[in-house]
Amino acid sequence: MRKIVIVSTCAEDWGGSEELWGKSVPTLQDAGFAIAAVKYYINRQHPEFIKLSSRNVELIEIFPKAAISAKIKKKIIKIAQEVAIGLKWTQPKPEDFSNFITILKNQDPSLVIISQGINFDGLKLAYQCSLLKIPYVLIAQKAVDFYWPHKDDRAFMLEALQKAERNYFVSHHNLRLTEEQFGKRLPNGQVIFNPVKLSGNVVPFPKSKDVYKLACLGRLFLLDKGQDLLIRILSEPKWRDRPVTVSFVGKGTDEAALKDMAVLLNVTNVDFKGQVEDIEAMWKDYHALVLPSRSEGLPLSMVEAMAAGRPVIISNAGGNTELVEEGVTAFIGYPNEESFGEAMERAWHRRDDWEEIGKNGARYVEENVPKFPEQVFAKLIIDLLAHK
């Protein structure tokens, strides 16, 4: 049986970047492929990995927890994080990746799928595949205007991109930016979609307008999601006096910082909901999405809000604006207080139109976003292997 090895560089137990490959597994197995999932570390108690294990997906850790000390683990995580944000990381030597190389040799895959959070945090692993002459594809879930590859890393990273069978990106912006960062066109580049968690049905708009409830849905990580911009805007007198609340939905490393900032600025019309599993049910209580991101791929929270029939107030980061039209399905600003505040102001003055604007967005998603992107992705992989 031919094997596909899926490698995830996600440092979290299970991130949004893993939904695409995770949901593609059944289709790949139905096509006759055995699957192995590889990460630096795997939390085998996480529900998603329990599901994968029940489907006979082999789970492999590059650095098994039992084999390393806590001190070494901390150092490895630090190095991985530095690579992810573009700090210096010299050309990889094979001995630096002996565990990964051993895994590849033992698995003998027909193809390796490398799922990256940012557009070059998995290129060190892809480079090892190229040295071993193992075919591979890359997925980039994000590319960031202010994170560029270090000058000492560009050569091997570009080689890894060019030798990939395909480079998949979740937005045209991310593909274009990656080409600009490396100064080369990528004819093997292609834009794909991530899976959406909602059923596809428009969620009835809240009847109560005594208070307009906005959801800011995403990881509490200021460098990417920009929730601090929103708190500054809400501290302005006009927003204090309006019947508006904002719920931060999600978890993340900056939760305490955001709570402290809200207290300092006396912003009392915000709350923190934590992780919400049933997003579709959540939208029954909320009128709109507000997302002041500094960087993005193409956020699932935006697509899901549109699919639920909600207007979106968004920044123009990443691929955000590729699915929306100002004043028709969305209100768009730059990720700074002045511009994003102006977008919120435009939205506020058209709040009586929000239900209709939300319906416009739902129609656009229905007509332009695949219902099962994971099956589309799996078919791309199956077709690619059929010609090898």
The 3-class SS string of 100-143 reads HHHHHHHHCCCEEEEEECCCCCCHHHHHHHHHCCCCEEEEECCC
Q: How large is the average pLDDT for residues 206-223?
A: 94
As a whole number of angstroms, the distance between CA 43 and CA 127 comes to 26
Task: Please report the domains of the chain, with CATH numbers, ordered by start residue.
Answer: 3-195+372-386 (3.40.50.2000), 212-368 (3.40.50.2000)
pTM reported for the whole predicted model = 0.88
What is residue 88's predicted lDDT score, i.e. its pLDDT? 44
Q: What pLDDT does 86 receive?
A: 42
pLDDT for 83: 47
Residue 168 CA, distance from chain mean position: 13
**Rounded distance between C-alpha atoms, residue 299 and residue 293, angstroms:** 9
Say if residues 332 and 316 touch (Cβ distance below 8 Å): yes
Residue with tokens 């007509």: 367
Q: Tell me the C-alpha distance between 363 and 247, whole Å.
A: 26
pLDDT value for 387: 85
Mean pLDDT calculated for residue range 119-145 = 95
Examine the pLDDT at 89 and tell me if it is beyond 80: no
Cα atoms found within 13 Å of the Cα of residue 97, Cβ hemisphere only = 21
DSSP label at 320? Answer: G
- Sheet strand arrangement including 111-116: 58-61, 34-39, 3-8, 111-116, 136-140, 166-169, 189-191
Percentage of residues in the chain with pLDDT exceeding 90? 82
Q: Hey, how many other C-beta atoms are within 10 angstroms of the C-beta on 74? A: 11
Q: Where are the alpha helices (DSSP H) in the chain?
A: 19-30, 47-54, 70-84, 98-107, 123-131, 154-163, 172-182, 222-225, 227-234, 237-240, 255-264, 279-282, 300-307, 337-349, 354-368, 373-386
Q: Give the DSSP letter of residue 357.
A: H
Q: Find, among 29, 33, 39, 31, the residue nearest to 6 by Cα.
A: 39
Per-residue confidence at 93, pLDDT binned at 50, 70, 90? low
Q: What whole-number distance in Å separates Cα of residue 108 and Cα of residue 102?
A: 10
**43-80 per-position pLDDT tens digit:** 999 999 999 999 999 999 998 765 555 555 555 555 55
pLDDT in tens, 251-303: 999 999 999 999 999 999 999 999 998 999 999 999 999 999 999 999 999 99
pLDDT for 199 equals 74
CA distance 308 to 279: 9
Residue 359's CB is within 10 A of a number of other CB atoms, namely 17
Residue 52 DSSP code:
H
Instruction: Supply the Cα-derived Rg of the chain in whole angstroms.
Output: 21
Which range, of 127-136, 200-209, 225-234, averages the lowest pLDDT?
A: 200-209
* Inter-CA distances, 375 with 194, 205, 387, Å: 10, 30, 19
Lowest mean pLDDT among 190-204, 279-293, 294-308, 339-353: 190-204
